[in-house]
Chains A and B, each alone.
Chain A
Amino acid sequence: MMAFLKSREAILGGAILVLLALIASRFPGFIAPANLARVFTDTSPLLLLALGQTVVILTRCIDLSVAANLALTGMVCAMLNAAMPGVPVIVILAIAVGLGAIMGAFNGILVWKLAIPPIVVTLGTMTIYRGIIFLISNGEWVNAHEMSAAFTGFPRASILGLPVLAWFAIVLAALFILMIARTPLGRSFYAVGGNPHAAVYTGIDVGRTQFWAFVISGALAGLTGYLWVARYAVAYVDIAGGFELEVVAACVIGGISIAGGAGTILGTILGALFLGIVKNALPVVDISPFWQMAISGAAIITAVAFNARSAKAKGRIILRRAQAQGAQA
């Protein structure tokens, strides 16, 4: 019990409650269930991407291409819908997840087979995926009137009072908690990030595990791409620009160690919620939305400084995957 109270997740959860209490003391309407549901729905895309990013960071990698992947998949779905309005949503969902996974797999293959540092790979694919959006769309927008009602209605359809978008976030978060804790793949993410040498000796293929992390991250980005475009009923080249850093921020605030191998899905969920609440609260408490960027920056720095204090000194150096690769060869 005491251990739980001292954990990062409990402290972050406490911080969120304090934050909510502070806002509610002046604006009680903010914590009305309907508004909290709205805030959660608004945070769902961030949460979905952060789940995938968590797995990637656990294996000592980073995926900076998620926002570009989201935008490209979203554009493909929107153009498909505009050209063939008859295609059912379930097919579009499958295409979104599949296309996202393929883009993730491309990152993963480069990291796995060619041992190129993930930050370089995803930096490159990020610009490539964005560029492809321009090529296929000619820089034009797909607007609401070109999309079918079924296409845009799906993420907003209400089940038990919550929109489908929010249900996706809830169900996938639950699945990820199970997957991370209860499946061999989930445990191997920790093993690979915690100690790649030891992982190799226990028979885990480090590169292959990292590959699957990228595929998962890509598939989630693809799924979110469709949901995003349908929810906002518009697709263009720059949607979700810079979102990849917000996603990494959610993970870091949630206590996922950038050195790999440490952190929990619950932490990531709380990290994403924290950013989502701040973002939605600013206009309510009448602070200019221009403060949001500086606040999330300060939150990242505070969180990482705090995590470093609570974690035992491991003396690890970032960007040092080379030894792991050496052990693998």
Chain B
Amino acid sequence: MTDASNTRHIPDRLQSNAARILKSWEVLLVGVAILIFVANSFASPYFLNAWNLSDATFNFTEKAMIAFAMALLIISGEIDLSVAAIIALASTAMGAAAQVGAGTFELVLIGLVTGLAAGAFNGVLVTMMGLPSIVVTIGTMSLFRGISYIILGDGAFRGYPDGFAFFGQGYVWWVLSFEFVLFAVLAVIYYVVLHRTNFGRTVYTIGNNATAASFSGIRVARVKFILFLLTGLMSGVAAICLTSRLGSTRPSIAFGWELEVVTMVVLGGVSILGGSGSIPGVVIAAFVMGLVTFGLGLLNVPGIVMSIFIGLMLIGVIALPRLWAKRRA
């Protein structure tokens, strides 16, 4: 996150690299993460256990996968609140297919295609019809989950094939779960895409000034459409992992996750106004949220009270630097 506002000013003297890094959002977040880690290991004797820590990663891996794509989308100045509903829709589609005997490969394919289709639907409405993404995705959020409710009602799909369990429950090596490895691989891929490619630069350009971007030859609508596709696809991936982990599908699956994903992205230093943010920030924010949830869970703090911490963190990390800047000004 840069300034309180989007006004850019040119400094008289460039800051040294070291000073810039030390003051950066990511370093601040790492500090927070370390603090939480240390506090947790003092607070509970069960915290520093490889298997417990490995279990804890499930708190955030699925949400973080979506958060990567969401970060790009928010940097470009749009938002997708339908991601959790896409999980429900994709999971329902997979469940329905599993009932008629689809194998693991088909299920994965169905999950990914459903996610892509839902993302494309959002993308068409936003980029081709020029509708505001926040309203469109509030609408599709009801629509996608609504379809899930129509199909399932108060029932549930069970009976996934044995091989399907690997995505949410399998381990690649010792305590490294498949989900965690996938999370790490995706983090690297998104890092490269956002910070090392032309495409990534265009995402920032669009977020800072979409008009200037289109005058400089960037196909704004196309880039945004791709980002909606990506967000849909990642929701499909998360749906596969979550469904596999739970082993069942209900229409209320992943309820409220869209807000947690957005929280993760904003906590990671991505400006909700678009134009700035980084993947490492989102990765660290994922760990912070996962550690807080896990640590408080070990202390028998109920989930809803943890959400107070998440909410305070979300407002606090944005408010404190601004308060500080105000005092200095």
A: residues with CB less than 8 A from B are: 62, 110, 114-117, 119-121, 123-128, 130-132, 134-135, 139, 237, 242, 245, 248-249, 252, 258-259, 288, 290-301, 304-305, 308, 313, 317-323, 325-326, 329
Which residue of A110, A130, A300 is within 8 Å of B138 (Cβ)? A300
Which residue of chain A is the closest to B6 with respect to CB atoms? A322
B305 and A116 within 8 A (CB): no
A308 and B131 within 8 A (CB): yes
Contacts of B311 in A (CB 8 A): 123-128, 131
Interface of B, secondary structure class, is helix
Which residue of chain B is the closest to A107 with respect to CB atoms? B315
Which residue of chain A is the closest to B260 with respect to CB atoms? A127
Q: How large is the interface on B (under 10, 10 to 19, 20 to 34, 35 or more residues)?
A: 35 or more
Judge if B227 is at the interface, Cβ distance under 8 Å.
no
* A305–B126 CA distance with the chains assembled, in angstroms: 10
Given known pairs A110-B319, A237-B304, A293-B145, the reply for A300 and B273 (CB within 8 Å) is no
Which residue of chain B is the closest to A325 with respect to CB atoms? B5
Contacts of B138 in A (CB 8 A): 245, 248-249, 252, 300
Give, as a whole number of angstroms, the nearest-CB distance from B173 to chain A: 36
B315 and A124 within 8 A (CB): yes
Judge if B263 is at the interface, Cβ distance under 8 Å.
yes
Can you offer 21 A-B residue contacts whose CB atoms are under 8 A?
A114-B318, A115-B5, A123-B314, A124-B312, A124-B314, A127-B310, A127-B311, A127-B314, A128-B308, A130-B307, A135-B308, A249-B138, A294-B147, A295-B146, A297-B140, A297-B143, A298-B139, A304-B131, A304-B136, A317-B210, A319-B272
B308 and A120 within 8 A (CB): no
Task: A128-B307, A297-B145, A301-B143 are known; give 20 further A-B pairs, CB within 8 A.
Answer: A114-B319, A120-B272, A123-B262, A123-B263, A126-B259, A127-B259, A128-B308, A134-B302, A139-B304, A245-B141, A259-B132, A290-B146, A295-B146, A297-B139, A301-B125, A313-B130, A318-B132, A322-B7, A325-B5, A329-B5
* A16–B11 CA distance with the chains assembled, in angstroms: 58
Which residue of A124, A237, A294, A301 is within 8 Å of B136 (Cβ)? A301
Contacts of B143 in A (CB 8 A): 293-294, 297-298, 301
Judge if B135 is at the interface, Cβ distance under 8 Å.
yes
Contacts of B146 in A (CB 8 A): 290-298
A322 and B5 within 8 A (CB): yes
Given known pairs A293-B146, A301-B139, A313-B130, the reply for A121 and B315 (CB within 8 Å) is yes
Which residue of chain B is the closest to A316 with respect to CB atoms? B132
